[in-house]
């Protein structure tokens, strides 16, 4: 058999689609390192994109490393559930429990999930029929609006969406880009005076007993109402119980650090490895990315608008910026709110309230995922 240079040298087989993806991978790495935009996510994802699109590399092909990681961690839902244990161990629900009204902001910021679901369904089987989106696909695409990568993975895999790879990539890519996506929307929807509203920094009043009882109560309440959310809320609250119990510090530490770091590396590089040029640079896939950015914008806008309503009701005591943290991109969104607040007033500290809304959004997105898994099979 004759072997040509094109069979050996990758650059001779490089297509324009692969070149675009290599450029995107390099851009994400630059944003992570040079601009310090969520490097924990963008560096593994960007590296995965580059490796998956090297001509003749075969790392993303059948039997390759990325294919094996996808089969073991994505298709089985293992990675997102392990991530949720780590996230739960990192979350302090104290700010949320101290300011329970923030659950309303978390609920409002899930508007993008259902708005995006209807948009995708209308474009597909629901009305226009111009895209190959079934109801299961539309529900999975809608979950991009949860701003919650693990939930997006879980729902799309359970519903068997044929666009799982694009949905996962869009969800994690936009989660990482929250510091870029959210601020313009927040500033556009609020006045400078609203952004300057100071909220008092009060000492924590939540008892240790309350913090221990909360994850148990959340499991019983949410899982009995939305059983399909049991794996997600169960892992999230299990991780939180490890944290708050105070008697298994070594397990809590392992969940927050070693396990979370290892799974984040594997998940990030696998997500990047799913961005193969041939499958990503398709009309429907590109549209999913467009819909995804619309979903994030809708979430942020709904949260801020509801924050403005609460500001009026409270007679100017609630800063509407904290509504933007109602999406479940934890803890990125809370940090963005704090940053935008400090830009308006260097002495304005909103982090505690934003963290409350952010953790409320984490719970709300899981519940929304469970609702999707319950309702779609009924109406599909």
* Contact call for residues 79 and 73 (beta carbons, < 8 A): yes
With tokens 């049991």, the residue in question is 230
Burial class (CB in 10 A: 0-12, 13-18, 19+), 246: exposed
At residue 10, the pLDDT reads 62
CA distance 277 to 267: 19
Q: Is the pLDDT of residue 35 over 60?
A: yes
**Separation in Å, CA 59 to CA 25, 62, 64, 275:** 15, 8, 5, 12
Q: Is the pLDDT of residue 32 over 70?
A: yes
Give 203's pLDDT tier (boundaries 50, 70, 90): low
Please give the average per-residue pLDDT across 66-82, as a whole number: 93
**Separation in Å, CA 152 to CA 18, 79, 141:** 26, 12, 8
At residue 345, the pLDDT reads 93
Q: What is the pTM of this model?
A: 0.87
* Contact call for residues 181 and 112 (beta carbons, < 8 A): no
Q: Is the pLDDT of residue 8 over 70?
A: no
User: Which ranges constitute the DSSP H helices of the chain?
Assistant: 16-33, 39-52, 65-69, 78-90, 94-98, 102-108, 111-121, 135-142, 149-158, 164-176, 178-189, 192-195, 208-225, 230-245, 249-254, 260-273, 277-280, 283-313, 332-344, 351-379
Q: Is the pLDDT of residue 7 over 90?
A: no
pLDDT in tens, 212-254: 999 999 999 999 988 988 999 999 999 999 999 999 999 999 9
At residue 204, the pLDDT reads 67
At residue 52, the pLDDT reads 95
CA distance 307 to 304: 5
| Peptide bond connecting 13 to the previous residue in cis, omega within 30 degrees of 0 | no
Give 331's pLDDT tier (boundaries 50, 70, 90): confident
pLDDT in tens, 129-187: 778 889 999 999 999 888 888 899 899 999 999 888 888 878 887 887 888 899 999 99
> How would DSSP label each residue in 84-141?
HHHHHHH---HHHHHSTTHHHHHHHTTHHHHHHHHHHHIIIIITT--S---HHHHHHH
**Separation in Å, CA 80 to CA 8, 136, 157, 235:** 37, 19, 11, 10
Q: Is the pLDDT of residue 263 over 90?
A: yes
Please give the average per-residue pLDDT across 359-364, as a whole number: 91
Q: Is the pLDDT of residue 316 over 70?
A: yes
- Domain residue spans of the chain: 84-259+277-379
* Contact call for residues 175 and 328 (beta carbons, < 8 A): no
Mean pLDDT for all residues in the chain: 90
Please give the average per-residue pLDDT across 57-68, as a whole number: 90
Q: Is the pLDDT of residue 4 over 80?
A: no
């Amino acid at each position: 058999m004759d072997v040509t240079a094109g069979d050996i040298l990758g650059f001779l087989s490089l297509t324009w689609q692969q070149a675009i993806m290599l450029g995107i991978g390099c851009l994400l790495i630059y944003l992570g390192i040079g601009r310090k935009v969520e490097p924990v996510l963008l560096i593994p994802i960007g590296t995965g994109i580059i490796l998956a699109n090297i001509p003749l590399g075969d790392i993303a092909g059948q039997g390759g490393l990325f294919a094996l990681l996808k089969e073991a961690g994505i298709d089985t839902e293992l990675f997102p559930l392990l991530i949720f244990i780590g996230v739960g161990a990192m979350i302090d629900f104290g700010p949320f429990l101290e300011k329970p009204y923030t659950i309303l902001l978390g609920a409002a910021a899930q508007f993008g999930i259902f708005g995006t679901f209807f948009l995708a369904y209308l474009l597909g089987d629901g009305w226009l029929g111009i895209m190959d989106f079934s109801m299961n696909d539309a529900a999975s695409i809608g979950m991009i609006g949860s701003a919650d990568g693990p939930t997006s993975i879980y729902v799309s895999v359970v519903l068997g969406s044929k666009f799982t790879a694009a949905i996962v990539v869009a969800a994690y890519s936009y989660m990482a880009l929250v510091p870029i996506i959210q601020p313009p929307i927040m500033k556009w929807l609020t006045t400078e005076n609203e952004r300057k509203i100071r909220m008092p920094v009060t000492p924590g009043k939540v008892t240790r007993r309350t913090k221990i009882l909360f994850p148990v109560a959340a499991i019983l309440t949410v899982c009995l109402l939305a059983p399909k959310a049991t794996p997600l809320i169960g892992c999230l609250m299990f991780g939180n119980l490890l944290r708050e119990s105070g008697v298994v510090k070594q397990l809590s530490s392992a969940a927050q650090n070693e396990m979370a770091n290892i799974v984040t590396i594997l998940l990030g590089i696998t997500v990047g490895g799913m961005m193969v040029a041939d499958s990503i640079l398709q009309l429907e896939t590109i549209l999913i990315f467009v819909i995804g950015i619309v979903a994030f914008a809708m979430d942020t806008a709904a949260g801020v608008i509801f924050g403005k309503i609460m500001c009026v009701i409270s007679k100017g005591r609630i800063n509407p910026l904290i509504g933007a943290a109602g999406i479940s991109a934890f803890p990125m969104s809370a940090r963005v709110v704090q940053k935008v607040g400090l830009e308006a007033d260097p002495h304005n500290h909103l982090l505690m309230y934003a963290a409350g809304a952010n953790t409320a959004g984490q719970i709300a997105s899981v519940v929304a995922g469970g609702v999707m898994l319950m309702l779609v099979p009924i109406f599909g």
